[in-house]
Amino acid sequence: MSKPEVAQKAPYVVELEPGNYAWCSCGKSANQPYCDGSHSGTTFRPIIEKIEEKKVVAWCGCKNNGGGPFCDGSHSKL
């Protein structure tokens, strides 16, 4: 399996409105932390998250977390 590119060694902390968001899992998107289609031709796919209410989230920036789109502290081990 391919390894993702590390977009940054910290989470992207943002306040979001309700809606659907496509988190970039490959690390190549120019629109981090969101997918812009740069994964095309790879095994990576965006992870779609539905946000139900306005809230602050910490999207994973290192792309090496436990498989989900939210920061789990894995960047501290890079």
Q: Is residue 1 part of a domain?
A: no
Q: Is residue 23 part of a domain?
A: yes
Q: Is residue 4 part of a domain?
A: no
List, for residues 11-26, the tens digit of each pLDDT value. Answer: 999 999 999 999 999 9
Nearest to 62 by CA among 48, 47, 78: 78
Question: What's the number of domains the chain is made of?
Answer: 1
Helices H, strands E: what count in the chain? Answer: 0, 4
Q: Is residue 6 part of a domain?
A: no
List, for residues 33-60, the tens digit of each pLDDT value. Answer: 999 999 999 999 999 999 999 999 999 9
Locate 43 and state its tokens: 């095994």
Instruction: Tell me which residue range forms the domain holding 73.
Output: 12-77
Q: Is residue 28 part of a domain?
A: yes
